[in-house]
Amino acid sequence: MDLILKQLGELLLGSIPTMVFLLLLFVIYTFLVHRPLTAVLAERRSKTEGAVEKARADLAAAEARAAEYEQRLREARLVVYRGQEARRAEAQKHRARLTAEARASAQRLVDEARANIERDKVAAQTALQGESGRLATEIIRAVLQPTQLQPTGGQ
């Protein structure tokens, strides 16, 4: 058993330089590679997360602008529709006024034409009564006068 312990002690003593080199390598690795790599990765992560947050903020701002644009568009359409409706109502009033004026004008023309026809009728009746009286007088005169024989030209 002494032999085993002695061999174990020699092995342990022989492994001390390896452990020192391993520890030294670990310290060098930590200072030269691991810490700068960790710092670079942390910076990269912060930049990436910052970019993601900025992108989210930009997206939220864009959505807000889009919502505002849509609201303004709805308001503009409403104004346009109201303007169109007002013009349509005005045109309808104008058309109704013109139609009423045309009807009134047509009614005046019809009334004037009826009045003219009535005057013409009265004038024609008066003329016919006067003519009928004259014709009746001529007929009576012709009937009451002796018939005169007129020579015939039968040579």
pLDDT tens for 106-122 read 999 999 999 999 999 99
Question: Any idea which residue has 């701002």 for tokens?
Answer: 61
- The DSSP secondary structure of 100-146, one letter per residue, reads HHHHHHHHHHHHHHHHHHHHHHHHHHHHHHHHHHHHHHHHHHHHHSP
- Top-confidence residue, 145 or 113: 113
Q: Rounded to whole angstroms, how far apart are CA atoms 62 and 58? A: 6
pLDDT score of 12: 85
In this prediction the pTM is 0.42
Q: Which band of pLDDT confidence, cut at 50, 70 and 90, is reported for residue 153?
A: low
Report residue 153 as tokens: 């030209």
